[in-house]
Structure 1
Amino acid sequence: GGYVKFAGDANAASMPDAGATEAAAKDPGNFHAKPVWQRALVVVAGPMANFILAIVIFAAAFMIIGSPVSEPRVDAVMPGSAAERVGLKPGDIIVSIEGKEMKSFDDVVMAVIMRGGDELHVKVDRKGQIIDMVVVPDVVEDKDASGNVQRVGRLGIQYNAEQGARTYERLGPVAAVAKGWERTYFIVDMTLRYIGKLFTGRESAKQIGGVISIADTASTAASMGFFTFVSAIAFLSVSIGLINLFPIPMLDGGHLVYYGIEAVRGKPLGPNAQEWGFRIGFSVVVMLMVVGTWNDLVRKFASVFGS
């Protein structure tokens, strides 16, 4: 790929040098001479492109391959599970979770996966009778196809336990885009919930992964079929866009913070303040990369030596 630099940018991080302000005053075409809102739109455009790409990928997959079709029906309840404790029974239809309509069993899985330990209000259709329940999904450690262990929420119910049937329905353009938006929103929501739980001590930083995890996930997804592979690409695109919006100097989100301060103050932060901000931001990014790589290596050694 290539990188196109705006006139006036000193580097890829859009950090102006000491003479940027003076140059901007003399050249109206200079990036740093543009109004704050225009510079902010330029910065937001990158992450937005990631989100739009994910929606397009999902939509194309739903139109070409189709969307998994499954009724939000309980076919089996696992002994000792959260579902058993709350009284869910085989044959129950899950109507809604936290007020959101459940159209498929996949919707149920996505509504619960990042809500382990949280109280969820569930509406169930039992032979025509609507029953309100409050269920707390169990938090379990789940190993994916790449061997990565993740803490997820689980009700302990199964769909089509005996037949294991799974069909796909091709969607029209409008429905496919809507479904693509829904999947993209789910990834953003799931990531933000994880970060929130990470800061409150309810999740472990051991789940953070690096380039090795990305490579493993891509390889595994490719072996599991085209739909899974393109879904992994879309997931990665959303993750990149979301990470770029984090309020860390050096990332797009950090620039937006600087522009917000500039809009309030009427002038940008001084060069020293910006420089220190970028240094701190760089340190945070490097630290996250080190943590992710370390976790990847630990998982690799554990999988090799069986510990």
Structure 2
Amino acid sequence: MLNALAQVLMTVVPFLMVLTVIVTIHELGHFLVARYFGVKVDRFAIGFGKAIFSRTDRHGIEWRIGWLPLGGYVKFSGDMDASSVPDSRGLDTLKREIVAEKGVGAERDYFHFKPIWQRMLIVAAGPVSNFVLAIAIFTVLFSVVGVTLRPARIVEVVAGSPAATAGFQVGDLITEINGSPVRDRSDVSRRTSLSSGDPLRFTVERAGQRLILIATPERRVQEDPLAGRTNMGQLGVLLSSTAAETRQIRYNPIEAVGEGVRQTGNVLGTTLNYIGRIFTGRENGDQLSGPLGIAKASGALTNAAVAANPDPGAMAINLLLTMTSFAAILSIGIGFLNLLPIPVLDGGHLVFYAYEAVARKPVAASVQEAGYRVGLALLAGLMLFATWNDLQKLNLFKFLGGLVS
């Protein structure tokens, strides 16, 4: 019982801590840009539910910490509905109320009466803050800790695999895939996992010679310690490298920023590639993860960091570095999710503002309401689908079936 409780704590607590920090940074992006443009703000909250701490500053902004650590939010003065995009009638009503209470011109301090380009920047600042956070984390890690580069040297070729068919041999060093350099063996798995059914052009070094091999990764099921059961493209090779080939690189601050941008771009590119393959029918979406899958990954990373070295000091450092890297990846995911053109998300607000910029008037209230309901339904459906995937990958149904039989 105690072991099970400890496992739950090791899984849930780090996930909630990381999630709260990331969402707080997201909301802080909205807040800072809004304040820069002089927007009145009623509240900045970390967490939800009943306040365990609350203070109102001299600008009238309430700073609150809620008891439920599931993110946070910013409440702009004058927000009248959940979509925060009132129509022309709603704007007229709001303006009359503000003028009646505070005088002519007071409405210019409210979000909804700011120029449209300012509103778009305020909305976009949240996701952008997530990307900036990820770049900052990668920059610190690459400059302080460095990165280990392990060449993609083949030490085993699975019989009957795409690699065997293509002519790969033990000892081959993969240097390029479709013309893109392979700096680390993780580049090979990242590229092949989302290329099932697509021929890839590999450049390899063999006995001092440069060869070109064409291989088409096949979709296969395997167990991943972080993601559970996965069904992705595989080449059919085992990659390793000798100690002499492995390099530990620490970048200077400028180089580290460039590497941080590149790493963030790689994560975004992989995400876009996967979504594109879903829409073209080449992937079925079974690798989309929801809170359960992300929490499991967080717990697995935490356990691995703790088990890597029993020394308390080393354990604390490993845990800090692991969760910091995890925070960068999760921050990119949250930033990308919020840019999706769904009305309840930042991307949906940007779509409404783009329409307003072209049509010279806000989207009609009926359209906003319908979009808001459809957006909620889409998000709910996406969460249910992702949760179903998580349960499948965690083999929960097989476990329950074993209990019943």
Q: Specify the TM-score bucket, using the shorter chain as the normaliser.
A: 0.7 to 0.9
Task: Output the amino acid matched with 2:332.
Answer: V
Give the equivalent residue in structure 1 for 2:133: 53
Shift in CA distance, 161/93, structure 1 to aligned 2, threshold 3 Å? closer
Aligned with 2:91 (options 9, 20, 23)? 20
Shift in CA distance, 277/147, structure 1 to aligned 2, threshold 3 Å? closer
* Distance (whole Å) between structure 2 residues aligned to residue 147 and residue 105 of structure 1: 19
1:199 Cα offset (Å): 2.4
Tell me if structure 2 keeps the 8 A contact 1:146–1:216.
Answer: yes
Shift in CA distance, 172/78, structure 1 to aligned 2, threshold 3 Å? farther
Tell me if structure 1 keeps the 8 A contact 2:150–2:241.
Answer: no
* Distance (whole Å) between structure 2 residues aligned to residue 97 and residue 201 of structure 1: 23
- Alignment TM-score, normalising by the size of structure 2: 0.68
Shift in CA distance, 95/303, structure 1 to aligned 2, threshold 3 Å? same
Shift in CA distance, 176/162, structure 1 to aligned 2, threshold 3 Å? closer
Aligned with 1:88 (options 163, 168, 190)? 168
* Distance (whole Å) between structure 1 residues aligned to residue 390 and residue 189 of structure 2: 26
Shift in CA distance, 264/224, structure 1 to aligned 2, threshold 3 Å? same
Give the equivalent residue in structure 2 for 1:246: 340
Provide structure 2 residue ranges, at least 5 long, that are not aligned to the other structure. Answer: 1-45, 47-71, 97-104, 306-317
Tell me if structure 1 keeps the 8 A contact 2:157–2:164.
Answer: yes
Secondary structure of the equivalent of 1:206?
Answer: coil
Aligned length: 307
Shift in CA distance, 293/76, structure 1 to aligned 2, threshold 3 Å? closer
1:22 Cα offset (Å): 5.0
* Distance (whole Å) between structure 1 residues aligned to residue 243 and residue 401 of structure 2: 33
Give the equivalent residue in structure 2 for 1:171: 251
Task: Write out aligned runs for 1:75-224 (5 A).
Answer: 75-146=155-226, 148-160=228-240, 168-224=248-304
Greater CA radius of gyration, 1 or 2?
Answer: 2
* Distance (whole Å) between structure 1 residues aligned to residue 129 and residue 74 of structure 2: 16
Task: Output the amino acid matched with 1:271.
Answer: A
Tell me if structure 2 keeps the 8 A contact 1:184–1:238.
Answer: yes
- Alignment TM-score, normalising by the size of structure 1: 0.88
Secondary structure of the equivalent of 1:28?
Answer: helix
Does structure 1 residue 270 correspond to structure 2 residue 341?
no
Task: Output the amino acid matched with 2:379.
Answer: V
Secondary structure of the equivalent of 1:9?
Answer: coil
1:112 Cα offset (Å): 2.1
Identical aligned residues as a percent: 38
* Distance (whole Å) between structure 2 residues aligned to residue 148 and residue 262 of structure 1: 45
Tell me if structure 2 keeps the 8 A contact 1:50–1:238.
Answer: yes
Tell me if structure 1 keeps the 8 A contact 2:340–2:348.
Answer: yes
Secondary structure of the equivalent of 1:203?
Answer: coil
Secondary structure of the equivalent of 2:323?
Answer: helix
CA RMSD in angstroms comes to 2.7
Secondary structure of the equivalent of 2:170?
Answer: coil
Shift in CA distance, 35/142, structure 1 to aligned 2, threshold 3 Å? farther
Does structure 1 residue 9 correspond to structure 2 residue 79?
yes
* Distance (whole Å) between structure 1 residues aligned to residue 183 and residue 241 of structure 2: 19
Instruction: Pick the structure with more strand per residue.
Output: 2
1:280 Cα offset (Å): 0.6
Aligned with 1:64 (options 112, 122, 144)? 144
1:11 Cα offset (Å): 4.7
* Distance (whole Å) between structure 2 residues aligned to residue 305 and residue 62 of structure 1: 44
Secondary structure of the equivalent of 1:19?
Answer: helix
Provide structure 1 residue ranges, at least 5 long, that are not aligned to the other structure. Answer: none
Tell me if structure 2 keeps the 8 A contact 1:55–1:180.
Answer: yes
Shift in CA distance, 106/223, structure 1 to aligned 2, threshold 3 Å? same
Task: Output the amino acid matched with 1:277.
Answer: G
Secondary structure of the equivalent of 1:208?
Answer: coil
Aligned with 1:279 (options 373, 377, 391)? 373
Give structure 1 regions of 4+ aligned residues with deviation exceeding 4 angstroms: 161-167
* Distance (whole Å) between structure 2 residues aligned to residue 222 and residue 166 of structure 1: 25
More off after superposition, 181-190 vs 159-168 = 159-168
